[in-house]
Amino acid sequence: MKRQWWHDKTAYQIYPKSFCDSNADGIGDLQGVISKLDDLQALGIEILWLSPVYLSPMADQGYDIADYYSIDPRFGTMEDMERLLAEARKRGIAVLMDLVVNHCSDEHEWFRRACEDPDGPYGQYFYIRDWHEGEKLPTNWCSYFGGPCWDKLPGHEDKVYLHLFHKKQPDLNWENPALRQEIYRMINWWLDKGLAGFRIDAIINIKKALPLCDYPPDRPDGLCYVSTMLRHAHGVLDFLDEMARNTFQKHDAFTIAELFDDRPEDLPRFIGEDGCFSTIFDFSENALDSSPNGWYDRKPITAEQYKQAVFAAQARAADVGFMANIIENHDEPRGVSRYLPRGERSEAAKKMLGGLNFMLRGLPFLYQGQELGMENVPFADISQIDDISTLDEYQGALRAGLSPEDAFAAVIPFSRDNARTPYQWNASANAGFTTGKPWLMVNPNYPRINLAEQRGRTDSVYHFYRELIALRRSPAYRETVVWGSLEPYLAHQRNLMAYWRKGEKTLLVAGNFQAGPQVMPLPHAPRQILLNNLPDIDLRADGVHLAGYQFLVMEM
Ligand code: TEU
Ligand code: CA
């Protein structure tokens, strides 16, 4: 496999609205990010992805873009963005923005013009269809945020437009070459500015199965999940290859795609040597608890399921390319709250979960606060929730017959707002995020879980992540940690997740994914213990006696 400049890096996602507020309006901003670059550098971060900061009415927190060429005033100015790029570069940090081009905002000029003149050129930028009151809609697809994918075109009684996401996120018509050229021009404009690349949003959705048609209903409301349509859509790679040729390849840009519902056999075309992206996120463990009924019907994920999903994904990518490994992001609950059972979310367990993920083959991608072991939020009432997806899932649970209390209790553990609360900098008011009123409540555990406290304590979760990153960068182990192969070890031993990393050196990574102890047999005694999340290690003739949630990286 050809080596790339980004392979040995550690990446970090910032959710700008909740990272650091520089001007007391309760909303995180670019100046806030700039003021924390030293902290990111001290952690060892070399790639930074910013969730959207473009001009947006914020129906979906910036994933509804009204102008791709300007920064939303809530976040700052274009000068701030340029300064951020320059300051990051000084610290050896490559910056990625979010590329959201399946849809734009209904407040984007393209959509406004399409509404003014649906038969004119901008009408062709979207999927607009004739429709008359009382008729069935053009298709029976269910939007990702609930309800039909079609809404009335503003100003027209007899036309509807397609939105796979929220109604304020009209889908762009990629079949139209003029639209594609506009998008390539925009991408190149940003890359010319010195952006290192993009995280690419919801990209599989750009190709619709044509002609648009109904599919058998698979939901209680008689609609059909978009995933069925996507299975019938062919040709997304033609669009993506064309986009890559016209933009990313010319700039040697780094791209990481958010890809769901892709066909496994297409993996080489996505992330292989000549693939259209540098890498994609591995969502296989996030998908484990999904249910066709919705969030309220999700079941807890067991350690065994987690391990098997991760190993399967590692095997798929092994000869193809690098996947990016995550335990959480801005769309998911906190990893420690999801994959560790209630009552067992100790710092040791958090380090184990983080360590097992970090040491996989691929690009480690942290989400803000993960390095502190930030947890889900004890929301008490639905009125505290901002996220449109959670509100929709809550309604779905009510429709399924759950009482309001049960619906709330079932849905909240999966709320996207769990990961969107302000970053916990210190124990002062609002966790040091803002001196104003934060836009979303701060997790009340901030006096206990915050960066200042963890920085001052060498056995903290934060310091453990620093050690993981330092190991990845170290001259002695980099070769093995980054490019070494991965082979599962004792994959059938229950609640043990262990794997070899083999390269110049031979490392054995092991996590005891349970509260009780267990013995892991070893082929021979380790040469050296490189990382241990507990103060001691119990090595005996029959192997290593792991304490509950113990995590080790051993050189063998
Ligand atoms: O998410 C794409 C996606 O597939 C979502 O349906 C995801 O599964 C959902 O958020 C779960 O509730 C991306 C962004 O990451 C997300 O924040 C946006 O809301 C979405 O695209 C639309 O742009
Ligand atoms: Ca602000």
CB half-sphere exposure, 382, CA atoms < 13 A: 18
pLDDT reading at 221 higher than 90: no
> For residue 422, which of 463, 372, 467 has the smallest C-alpha distance?
372
* Phi, psi at 511, each rounded to 5°: -130, 130
Task: Quick: pLDDT tens for 111-149.
Answer: 999 999 999 999 999 999 999 999 999 999 999 999 999
- Kindly report the protein residue whose alpha carbon is nearest to atom 1 of ligand 1: 202
> For residue 279, which of 295, 268, 293, 294 has the smallest C-alpha distance?
268
**pLDDT value of residue 323:** 97
Q: Categorize the per-residue pLDDT at 262 as very low, low, confident or very high, splitting at 50, 70 and 90.
A: confident
Q: Categorize the per-residue pLDDT at 35 as very low, low, confident or very high, splitting at 50, 70 and 90.
A: very high
pLDDT reading at 523 higher than 90: yes
**pLDDT value of residue 260:** 85
Q: Categorize the per-residue pLDDT at 428 as very low, low, confident or very high, splitting at 50, 70 and 90.
A: very high
48: left (phi over 0), alpha (psi -120 to 50) or beta: beta
What does DSSP say about strands 94-99 and 47-50: parallel, antiparallel, or unpaired? Answer: parallel
Task: Quick: pLDDT tens for 481-496.
Answer: 999 999 999 999 999 9
Q: Distance between CA 535 and CA 458 in Å, rounded?
A: 12
Q: Distance between CA 298 and CA 339 in Å, rounded?
A: 13
Q: How confident is the model over 178-197, as a mean pLDDT?
A: 98
**pLDDT value of residue 386:** 93
Averaged pLDDT score across all residues of the chain? 97
Among the atoms of ligand 1, which is closest to the Cα of residue 393? Answer: 12
Tell me how many degrees the CA angle 513-519-524 measures, rounded to the nearest 5: 115
Among the atoms of ligand 1, which is closest to the Cα of residue 389? Answer: 12
Distance (Å) from CA 40 to ligand 2 centroid:
19
| Percent of the chain surpassing pLDDT 70 | 100
User: The whole model's pTM is what?
Assistant: 0.97
Distance (Å) from CA 80 to ligand 2 centroid:
12
- Kindly report the protein residue whose alpha carbon is nearest to atom 23 of ligand 1: 63
- Kindly report the protein residue whose alpha carbon is nearest to atom 12 of ligand 1: 389
Q: How confident is the model over 354-377, as a mean pLDDT?
A: 98
Q: Which ligand is nearest to the CA of 64?
A: 1
Catalytic residue numbers, as ranges: 201, 258
Q: Categorize the per-residue pLDDT at 1 as very low, low, confident or very high, splitting at 50, 70 and 90.
A: confident
Check if the beta carbon of residue 170 is closer than 8 Å to that of residue 104: yes
Distance (Å) from CA 201 to ligand 1 centroid:
8
Ligand 1 in contact with 513 (CB < 6 A)? no
**pLDDT value of residue 305:** 96
**pLDDT value of residue 290:** 87
Q: Distance between CA 81 and CA 386 in Å, rounded?
A: 26
**pLDDT value of residue 358:** 98
Judged by DSSP in three states, 365 sits in strand
Q: Which residue has the tokens 């005694």?
A: 525
Ligand 1 in contact with 111 (CB < 6 A)? no
Q: Categorize the per-residue pLDDT at 162 as very low, low, confident or very high, splitting at 50, 70 and 90.
A: very high
The count of residues in the chain is 556
pLDDT reading at 219 higher than 90: no
Q: Distance between CA 368 and CA 366 in Å, rounded?
A: 7
Q: Distance between CA 383 and CA 276 in Å, rounded?
A: 42
Q: How confident is the model over 351-367, as a mean pLDDT?
A: 98
Among the atoms of ligand 1, which is closest to the Cα of residue 60? Answer: 19
SS3 per-residue string spanning 93-112 = CEEEEEECCCECCCCCHHHH
Distance (Å) from CA 475 to ligand 1 centroid:
38
**pLDDT value of residue 220:** 82
Q: Distance between CA 170 and CA 254 in Å, rounded?
A: 27
**pLDDT value of residue 209:** 97
Q: Categorize the per-residue pLDDT at 22 as very low, low, confident or very high, splitting at 50, 70 and 90.
A: very high
Q: Helices (H) and strands (E) in the chain — how many of each?
A: 17, 23
| Residues paired with residue 129 on neighbouring β-strands, in sequence order | 160
Q: How confident is the model over 382-401, as a mean pLDDT?
A: 95
